[in-house]
Amino acid sequence: MKHEHTELCAQLQSELPDYLDGEARAEICRAIETHLADCDDCRVVVDTLKKTITLYRNAPCEDVPQDVHARLVRVLSLVSTNDERINE
Protein backbone atom coordinates (compact mmCIF):
# COMPACT_ATOMS: atom_id res chain seq x y z
CA MET A 1 0.00 0.00 0.00
CA LYS A 2 1.40 3.24 -1.18
CA HIS A 3 -0.72 5.35 1.13
CA GLU A 4 1.14 6.09 4.35
CA HIS A 5 -1.47 6.51 6.92
CA THR A 6 -0.59 9.37 9.22
CA GLU A 7 -2.76 10.73 11.97
CA LEU A 8 -3.60 13.82 9.95
CA CYS A 9 -4.70 11.70 7.00
CA ALA A 10 -6.97 9.65 9.27
CA GLN A 11 -8.47 12.80 10.72
CA LEU A 12 -9.12 14.15 7.25
CA GLN A 13 -10.88 10.93 6.27
CA SER A 14 -13.26 11.29 9.17
CA GLU A 15 -14.10 14.87 8.27
CA LEU A 16 -14.56 14.21 4.57
CA PRO A 17 -18.32 13.52 4.54
CA ASP A 18 -19.22 17.01 5.77
CA TYR A 19 -16.46 18.60 3.73
CA LEU A 20 -17.68 17.02 0.48
CA ASP A 21 -21.22 18.15 1.13
CA GLY A 22 -20.10 21.68 1.95
CA GLU A 23 -21.24 21.33 5.54
CA ALA A 24 -17.90 21.43 7.35
CA ARG A 25 -17.20 24.48 9.51
CA ALA A 26 -14.84 27.09 8.07
CA GLU A 27 -11.87 26.23 10.29
CA ILE A 28 -12.22 22.53 9.44
CA CYS A 29 -12.29 23.37 5.74
CA ARG A 30 -9.12 25.42 6.19
CA ALA A 31 -7.40 22.60 8.07
CA ILE A 32 -8.39 20.14 5.36
CA GLU A 33 -7.17 22.39 2.58
CA THR A 34 -3.88 23.00 4.37
CA HIS A 35 -3.37 19.25 4.67
CA LEU A 36 -4.32 18.69 1.04
CA ALA A 37 -1.73 21.23 -0.07
CA ASP A 38 1.11 19.05 1.22
CA CYS A 39 -0.27 15.50 1.13
CA ASP A 40 -0.35 14.12 -2.40
CA ASP A 41 -2.24 10.95 -1.48
CA CYS A 42 -5.08 12.71 0.29
CA ARG A 43 -5.29 15.23 -2.54
CA VAL A 44 -5.76 12.45 -5.09
CA VAL A 45 -8.37 10.74 -2.90
CA VAL A 46 -10.37 13.92 -2.37
CA ASP A 47 -10.09 14.88 -6.02
CA THR A 48 -11.27 11.47 -7.25
CA LEU A 49 -14.07 11.40 -4.67
CA LYS A 50 -15.28 14.76 -5.93
CA LYS A 51 -15.03 13.47 -9.50
CA THR A 52 -17.01 10.37 -8.54
CA ILE A 53 -19.84 12.51 -7.18
CA THR A 54 -19.77 14.86 -10.17
CA LEU A 55 -19.86 11.93 -12.60
CA TYR A 56 -23.03 10.47 -11.16
CA ARG A 57 -24.72 13.82 -10.58
CA ASN A 58 -24.12 14.84 -14.18
CA ALA A 59 -24.88 11.54 -15.88
CA PRO A 60 -27.89 12.02 -18.17
CA CYS A 61 -31.22 10.57 -17.00
CA GLU A 62 -32.27 7.75 -19.32
CA ASP A 63 -35.43 8.32 -21.32
CA VAL A 64 -38.13 5.73 -20.90
CA PRO A 65 -38.01 3.60 -24.06
CA GLN A 66 -41.16 3.95 -26.20
CA ASP A 67 -42.17 0.31 -25.79
CA VAL A 68 -41.70 0.45 -22.01
CA HIS A 69 -43.86 3.58 -21.86
CA ALA A 70 -46.53 1.98 -24.07
CA ARG A 71 -46.69 -1.14 -21.89
CA LEU A 72 -46.97 1.00 -18.74
CA VAL A 73 -49.91 2.93 -20.18
CA ARG A 74 -51.60 -0.30 -21.24
CA VAL A 75 -51.12 -1.98 -17.86
CA LEU A 76 -52.47 1.06 -16.03
CA SER A 77 -55.54 1.22 -18.22
CA LEU A 78 -56.19 -2.50 -17.65
CA VAL A 79 -55.84 -2.06 -13.91
CA SER A 80 -58.14 0.93 -13.90
CA THR A 81 -60.85 -0.86 -15.91
CA ASN A 82 -60.48 -3.98 -13.82
CA ASP A 83 -60.69 -2.11 -10.50
CA GLU A 84 -63.84 -0.30 -11.67
CA ARG A 85 -65.47 -3.59 -12.53
CA ILE A 86 -64.65 -4.98 -9.08
CA ASN A 87 -66.04 -1.88 -7.38
CA GLU A 88 -69.32 -2.03 -9.25
Partner 1 sequence: MDNDSELVHAAQNGDQRAFAQLVEKYEARVYNLARKMMRDPQDAEDVLQETFISVFRHLKDFQGDASFSTWLYRIATNASLMKLRGRKTPPLSLDAPVEMDDAGALPREIVDWGITPEEALLSGEVRAQMDAAVDALPESLRAVFVLRDIEGLSVQETADVLSISVPNVKTRLHRARLMLRENLSEYFKRAK
* Using rule CB under 8 A, residue 47 touches partner 1: yes
Local structure of 19: helix, strand or coil: helix
Q: x/- contact string, 53-72, with partner 1 (CB under 8 A)?
A: xxxxxxxxxxxx---xx-xx
Q: x/- contact string, 34-53, with Zn ion (CB under 5 A)?
A: -----x--x-----------
CA separation for the pair 17, 11 (Å, rounded): 12
Local structure of 22: helix, strand or coil: coil
Q: x/- contact string, 5-34, with partner 1 (CB under 8 A)?
A: x-------x--xx--xx-------------
**How many CB atoms lie under 10 A from the CB of residue 28?**
15
How big, in percent rounded to 5, are the helix, strand and coil portions of the chain?
75, 0, 25
Which entry of Zn ion, partner 1, none binds 39, CB below 5 to 8 A by partner kind?
Answer: Zn ion
Least distance (Å) between residue 53 CB and Zn ion: 20
